[in-house]
Structure 1
Amino acid sequence: MDYELTVIVPLYNEEENLLRVEMELTKYLEIALKKTCILFVNDGSTDGSLSIIKEISARNEAFDYISFDRNYGLSAALKAGFDNVKTPLLGYIDSDLQTDPGDFNLLLEHIDHHDLVTGVRVNRKDSFKKNLSSLIANGIRRSFTNDGMDDTGCPLKVIRTSAAQNIPMFKGLHRFLPAMILLQNGKVVQVPVRHYPRIAGTAKFHIWNRLFGPLMDCFAYLWMKHKYINYHIKEKSTC
C-alpha cells in the first residue's frame, strides 16, 4: 500500500503496554492526516513483548516489526527504524504512551515546511525528580547545540526520512535529533503536545542516563559538529 508515514515504536520489556499501544495506534490510523503504517522495533526484550508484537503484526496489515538479538539501547532502535523505513516521512512515539498518537496530526500540519517537527510536552505528568533532571539536561544541551529546542526528549516526532537517514547515529544521539537536522541545514520546529502519566510497565531511564549521560554526549556532539561533512551539488553531468 502507498503509505506516506511510518510510525516507529521502539520498545524494551513493555508487554503490559502493547495491547493498549495496538488499540491507540489503530484508532490513530483512522484519523491520520497521512496514510500511516506502524513499525515496532523490539530492542531485545526479555519478557513476552516479542510474542505480542508478532501477534499484533499478524492481525493488522499496517503493523510490522523488527527485533534485535539483544538489548542495544534506544539510539540503536531508532537507527534500525530509520534504516528500514520506506515512506517519505517517519514518526517516533514511545511504547509507554505518555504522549498521544493523535498529536501526530499536530506535527504533520508543519512538516511541509520543516525537516523535523518535535513535540514539546506541556503539563508534564512525571515525578519532580524526573522533570528536574530533564529540565537541567535540556538546558545543558541547548547551551552546547543552540538548537532552540526546549524538550528534545519528547517521544513524539515527525522527520523527513531522507534527513533522518543522513543522521550519523551513535549511542545517546537520540537526544540531539533536532541539532543533527540543523547540521544538514534543515529546518526544525517544536509544537506543544499532550502528556500523560505512565500507567503500566517500568521506566527505563534514571538520573545517570537523564543527566550525566547527556552531558558526556554533548561533547561527542561538538566533535561531530566540527567534523560533520555537509555539501550540496550545484551541477553534474548525466551518463
Structure 2
Amino acid sequence: MKLSIVIPMFNEAENVVPLVREIERACAALTDKELVLVDDGSTDDTARLIRELQAQYDWLRLIQHPRPGGQSAAVHSGVLCARGEIVCTLDGDMQNPPAEIPKMVAPLMAADAPADLALVAGQRVQRQDTWSKRMASKLANRLRAWMLNDHTRDTGCGLKAFRRDAFLRLPFFNHMHRYLPALFARDGWQVAHVDVAHRSRGGGSSKYNNLQRALVGIYDLFGVAWLIRRAKTVRPQEAPRTTEEPS
C-alpha cells in the first residue's frame, strides 16, 4: 500500500462522519490508500460511529486505545499499524481540511522525490482560532525556533506527511508530534514545508488550554534540545566486497 491517512480521535463523535466523507471526496484520485482512525479511549460514540462507517468503506480501519494516551501516542499507534509507505496525519476536529491531503503527499510520492526527503510539514495560514490561542502559539513557535533552529514557523499543524520507516526510527515521547521537523532533521532527513488552509472546529470542544500547552511545552522543549545535542553524528556505510582470493 502506498498511503495511510492516520487521524487521532478523542471524543470527536460530532466530526467522525463528515470528516470521513470529506476525505473520501478529497482523496478519490488516491486509489492505493487506507484511512486509519485511532480512537484514543473516547467516552462518547466515536468508536461506534467509526464501526458503522466501516460497512460503507472497506479502506477504513479502527485502532483503539483502552484509555486515553494523548495525541502523540495515538499518532504513533496509528503509524505502527499503518500499511502504507507514506503516512499523512491530520487532526480529527475538522480544522485541517482534507482537501489539503493530496498537496501534502505529492512531494513524497513524486517519481523524482529526493531520496533524503522524509517529512512534509503543513504551515497554517489565516488560522481560525481565538486570539489568545494564536498569540500563545506564536510565542511558543518563536521560542522553539530559537532553541531548536528547525526552520519551521508552525509545528502545531496536524497536517503532516512523512515516510513511515523514518518516523518509526524517531525517539518516541509524549507530545513528540509538535517537534517532528526538528526530530527528522536530527536524523539527517530533509524537511519540506507547505502552506495549508485552516478552519474553525467542526464540533465538540478543544482538549487543551493555553496554560497546559505552555507548561508541557517548556519541559518538552528542553528535552528535544537535549536529544538534538546527543544525536548520532555518523552513518554506517557498507564496505564493498573484495574480489581478491584469500592468500
Number of aligned residue pairs: give it: 235
Structure 1 portions without partners, runs of 5+: none
Report the CA distance between 1:157 and its aligned residue. Answer: 0.7
C-alpha distance in 1 between matches for 2:32 and 2:153: 29
Report the CA distance between 1:169 and its aligned residue. Answer: 1.1
C-alpha distance in 1 between matches for 2:47 and 2:240: 49
Tell me the equivalent position of 1:118.
Answer: 121
CA deviations over 1:99-121 (Å, ceiling 9, x no partner): 11121122223222321001111
What's the secondary structure of 1:168's corresponding residue? coil
Is residue 2:10 matched to residue 1:7?
A: no
When structure 1 is superposed on structure 2, of 144-153 and 104-113 the one drifting more is: 104-113
Relative to structure 1, is the Cα distance of residues 128 and 26 closer, same or farther in structure 2, using a 3 angstrom cutoff? Answer: same
Q: Which amino acid aligns with 1:101?
A: P
- Could you tell me the TM-score, scaled by structure 2's length? 0.90
Report % sequence identity.
29
Q: Which amino acid aligns with 2:186?
A: L
What's the secondary structure of 1:116's corresponding residue? strand
Quote the RMSD (CA, aligned, Å).
1.6
Question: Quick check: 1:11–1:40 contact (8 Å CA) kept in 2?
Answer: yes
Structure 2 portions without partners, runs of 5+: 242-247
What's the secondary structure of 2:55's corresponding residue? helix
Report the CA distance between 1:18 and its aligned residue. Answer: 0.5
Question: Quick check: 2:41–2:67 contact (8 Å CA) kept in 1?
Answer: yes
Alignment of 1:165-176 (within 5 A): 165-176=168-179
CA deviations over 1:191-221 (Å, ceiling 9, x no partner): 1111111131111111123322111111111
C-alpha distance in 2 between matches for 1:120 and 1:53: 28
Question: Quick check: 1:141–1:215 contact (8 Å CA) kept in 2?
Answer: no
Q: Which structure has the larger Rg? A: 2
Relative to structure 1, is the Cα distance of residues 204 and 90 closer, same or farther in structure 2, using a 3 angstrom cutoff? Answer: same
Tell me the equivalent position of 2:40.
Answer: 43
Question: Quick check: 2:97–2:198 contact (8 Å CA) kept in 1?
Answer: yes
Is residue 2:97 matched to residue 1:94?
A: no
Question: Quick check: 2:33–2:84 contact (8 Å CA) kept in 1?
Answer: no
Report the CA distance between 1:47 and its aligned residue. Answer: 0.7
C-alpha distance in 1 between matches for 2:209 and 2:233: 35
Question: Quick check: 1:140–1:215 contact (8 Å CA) kept in 2?
Answer: no
Tell me the equivalent position of 2:27.
Answer: 29
What's the secondary structure of 1:200's corresponding residue? coil
C-alpha distance in 1 between matches for 2:228 and 2:55: 42
Tell me the equivalent position of 1:109.
Answer: 106
C-alpha distance in 1 between matches for 2:55 and 2:146: 46
Tell me the equivalent position of 2:209.
Answer: 206
- Could you tell me the TM-score, scaled by structure 1's length? 0.93
Tell me the equivalent position of 1:162.
Answer: 165
Q: Which amino acid aligns with 2:66?
A: D
C-alpha distance in 1 between matches for 2:234 and 2:102: 32
